[in-house]
Amino acid sequence: MMRWVFGAACFFLLSACGARLPTATPPAPLAALSPTPSLVPSSFPNSAPAPTASPTQCPRQGEIRQDSVDTSAYGRDLPFRIYLPPCYEQGTGGWPALYLLHGLGGDDQTWLALGLADTADRLIKDGSVPGFLIVLPWQRTGLELEPALLEGLVPYVEENYGALPGPTWRAVGGLSRGGGWAFRLALRYPNVFSAVGLHSPAIRGGDLAALPNWLAQPRWSGTPKIWIDIGDRDSLLPAVDELTQALETRNVAHELSISPGRHEGAYWAHQLETYLRWYGQHW
């Protein structure tokens, strides 16, 4: 049996990030996931109106809130933090949403510890990227992340935070093990996200073996856009080379970026602005 290959563990930073929201009414549950993915285009619309407000001139900072989705059907609830862009409350047309997954040993504060909120504020306010939501789920032990995120978190964020529906307005990314999850979610369910970022990804060997079957799905249409980045001294570089060869063999379009660095927080923090610019260019 193939196994996960992991690099260095992510780090933690405890910080005050806003009061917990009052519990919102969860959306009606979708059909449970089956071995054949059940998230068909009819469940996730392909288009939605474009946002009608831009926060680039807003003097206020973005905001971090805490919330939780009732995903007890998949083992336990799914806590998450969400970044709301500057002057979020003034938006009238809805917001694109980026879902960022942490690595092994991390939690819903991992990306914040890298400087996510300050970087997003600066790029949005100076007009480098449009305003968008950033959702940071916490993959806890005992939680089936795949159905919890797709059947629980995505619909919840769209109902309660004004995230625009449809793959055009959704992106997913992750670092280390989170990058491996992002790869699985985006390739197995290509109708859900329009872009996926794999940051120093730890890809499960079984997922590489399953790639031909995923690409053979009737609804595979060459989306989502795939970007892979990794440090030139990262221990996972050989595994990423295997991943890119598998994609090239099957004519799957993707971008690869190798920059100076190791499998560590310092590398991801240095790359953070590049990450957000890449996601933001799709909106």
User: Phi first, then psi: what are they for 175, rounded to 5°?
Assistant: -110, 145
Cα–Cα distance for residue pair 72/150, rounded to 1 Å: 14
Q: What is the average per-residue pLDDT within 28-33?
A: 37
Instruction: Dig out the tokens for 155 from the structure.
Output: 């619909």
- CATH, residue 107: 3.40.50.1820
User: How does pLDDT run across 127-181, given as a tens digit for each residue?
Assistant: 999 999 999 999 988 999 999 999 999 999 999 999 999 999 999 999 999 999 9
Instruction: Dig out the tokens for 121 from the structure.
Output: 């504020």
How is 178-220 classified by DSSP, letter by letter? Answer: HHHHHHHHHHH-TTT-SEEEEES----HHHHHHHHHHHTSTT-
Res. 271: pLDDT tops 80: yes
Instruction: Dig out the tokens for 37 from the structure.
Output: 């993915």
Domain count, the chain: 1
SS3 content of the chain, % helix, strand, coil (to 5): 30, 20, 50
Strand (E) positions, the chain?
63-69, 78-84, 97-101, 133-137, 170-175, 195-199, 225-231, 255-259
In a domain, 77, yes or no: yes
Could you tell me the pTM of the whole model? Answer: 0.82
Do 183 and 203 form a contact (C-beta atoms < 8 A)?
Answer: yes
In a domain, 135, yes or no: yes
In a domain, 234, yes or no: yes
Query: Hey, is 64 helix, strand or coil?
Result: strand
In a domain, 35, yes or no: no
In a domain, 239, yes or no: yes
**36, burial (CB in 10 Å: exposed 0-12, middle 13-18, buried 19+):** exposed
In a domain, 144, yes or no: yes
**Mean pLDDT score across all residues of the chain:** 83
| % of the chain surpassing 70 pLDDT | 77
In a domain, 28, yes or no: no
Q: What is the average per-residue pLDDT within 31-41?
A: 37
In a domain, 16, yes or no: no
Q: Range of 89's domain?
A: 63-280
From residue 69, how far is each of 21, 82, 146, 147, 150 by CA, in Å? 12, 12, 14, 12, 12
Cα–Cα distance for residue pair 46/200, rounded to 1 Å: 29
